[in-house]
Amino acid sequence: MKPSGEELELYSNKFRLELTNILSWWKDHAANKKGDGFYGAADLEGRPVLEANQSCVLNTRILWTFSAAAKNPGHAAYRDMAHRAFRVVTERFTDHEFGGFFMELTTDYLVASDIKHTYAQAFALYSLCKYHELKPSPELLNTIQTIFHLLEEKTRDKQHLGYIEAFTRDWKPVEENRMADNNEPRSMNTHLHLLEAYAALYKVWKDELVKNRLAELLDIFLNKIIRDNGHLGIFFDEEFNETESSKEICSFGHDIEGSWLLLEAAEILGDEFITSTIEIISVKMVDAVDREGMDKDGGLFLESVRSGSHIRTNKHWWLQAENLVGFMNAFELTRDNKYWETVKLSWDFIEKHVMDHKRGEWYTKVNRLGVPFLTEPEDDPSPYYRNDRKIDPWKCPYHNGRAMMELVMRIERVLNK
């Protein structure tokens, strides 16, 4: 049975409320009370870890989230957070000598890591495009255009398909510190978020080169990254052939996030053939996640390894957020009620186990039974984020905040059809 309008409105209100909770928590706990930026980390109680460095990824994701939120009716109060984040990204993280953005700064805004990940550069571009939607200006658009041309000049591989992963401060390619387990030349993750950034760019700047590059990235996903079974390949060589060790891994969070980001990019591109192709593949990707990555309680497992024979059953916060959007997207495309039921089941798991109802925000990770990890387990360390923190270089409001905004928008779209 299809969901009633009353049921959809009920869940829309739930998502609106949680969006307010997320944004309010970050407004209260992330902004540095004695400075002009943000804390680099905060513990489970929301207390700042004053010695923690500041990361480009965290700050650009704060910028994106609050820029997106401030555009919505009734959320004008979040403009100050967006403006603060914009100043930090453009004044502190920007490398005014060589271009691009530093990876990490100290609490005194000295450079702690000057490596330039294409992944982090993409997030800077993505967030500045969203801020331009909030507060457009010719100066900002010029900055955004300059970043795009810099990325094309420095990161696009002129001899091989795709984009190079990591560089020194002055843009010399490096083989260490790539966004890959074994420093492979190409990663799905970097290209997914570069796609996301170029889609956001084309939305605010209808440039022919941007259009072509966005189409190329979509083609890479269609012909190189998406496996026949609907999962995303993870790591690749310079010719974009998936490495043997990568073939044994399925990353369910990236699968479900990619299922809707790819379609969003195709819709922004405006190519009807590509869009219709990705609509079919998007549902196939969701079905692959549903078949292999979903637990019966609505939680999404981290990944499968050893060609699917082993499942890592921990449930990380960002996967649960992306799970909601991916299944909602599949429901929009098909109107098959099974996808909406999964949205509800996943939300129930999040509400019961992932949200910290006492202290606010979401736990970084819970186990299969939904028990939160409150310390970092030695036998299964998180690759980028700590369990005993609500804020850290990778723990941000972008995944869960964006998910709530997407869900509200998509439910409204369903109700108005």
Q: What average pLDDT score do residues 171-192 get?
A: 85
CB-CB neighbours of 270 under 10 Å: 12
Q: Name residue 94's beta-bridge partners.
A: 101
Each residue's pLDDT tens digit, 277-318: 999 999 999 999 999 999 999 999 999 987 767 899 999 999
Output the pLDDT for position 309: 75
Q: So what's the pLDDT on residue 3? A: 94
**Cα 385 from Cα 5, distance rounded (Å):** 39
DSSP state of 247: G
pTM beyond 0.95, yes or no: yes
Residue 120: left if φ>0, alpha if ψ -120 to 50, beta else—which one? alpha
Question: Which pLDDT tens digit goes with each residue over 354-364?
Answer: 999 999 999 99
Measure the CA dihedral 24/405/14/293, to 10°: -110
Question: Mean pLDDT across the stretch 200-204?
Answer: 98
% of the chain exceeding 90 in pLDDT: 90
Rounded to 5°, the CA angle 296-299-305 comes to 90
pLDDT reading at 383 higher than 70: no
Over residues 71-95, the pLDDT tens digits come to 987 787 899 999 999 999 999 999 9
Answer yes or no: is pLDDT of 180 > 80. Answer: no
Residue-averaged pLDDT of the chain: 95
For position 389, what pLDDT does the model report?
A: 94
**What pLDDT sits at residue 119?**
96
Q: Report the pLDDT value the prediction gives residue 235, as an integer from 0 to 100.
A: 95
Distance (Å) of CA 138 to CA 68, 132, 145, 361, 365: 19, 9, 10, 36, 42
Across the range 57-76, mean pLDDT stands at 93
In this predicted structure, what is the pLDDT of residue 376? Answer: 78
Query: Does the pLDDT of residue 334 top 70, yes or no?
Result: yes
pLDDT score of 414 more than 70: yes
